[in-house]
Structure 1
Amino acid sequence: MLNNLIKTGLFFFISLTSALVCAQTKTASTGNWNAAATWSPSGVPGDNEVILIPAGVNVTVPGSDHTMNNTILIIEGTLVMESTCGVCPNYGSLTFTGPDSGVIMEAGGQMQDGTAFGGDTHFISVDGETFWSGDNCSSNCGDVEGNYTAPEASSWPVGLSNPLPIELIEFTASVSAGSVEIIWKTAIEINNESFTIQRSNDALNWTGIATIDGAGNSINENSYFFIDKHPLPGLSYYRLTQTDYDGTIEYFEPARVNNEQIGVLDTYPNPANNILNIIASNDLSNAYILVRDRSGQLLSVPINTSIHEAQLDVSELAVGVYLLEVVFEGQAVRKRFIKQ
Structure 2
Amino acid sequence: MKRLLLLTFLLISLLNAKATSTTALSSGDWNEPALWSNGVPGCFDTIIIPASIQIDVTSTIDLNACPDSMIIFLYGRIEFQNGKKLKLPCNSDIMVFPGGSMGVGSGGGSSTYVEMCSTQYWNASSGDLAGPILLCDGGCPPSQLPIELVSFTADMRSNERVVDLHWVTKSEIDNDYFTVERSADGISWEALYNVDGAGNSSYTIHYSDTDNLPLYGVSYYRLKQTDFNGDFSYSPIVSVQDENINEISLYPNPVIQGGSIVIYLPESFNNVIDLNIYSADGKVVATESFDVVNNNQIIYNVPSHVAAGTYMIKIADENFRIIVQ
Relative contact order, higher structure (CA 8 A, sep 6+): 2
TM-score using structure 1 length? 0.40
TM-score using structure 2 length? 0.41
Q: Could you say which structure has the larger radius of gyration? A: 1
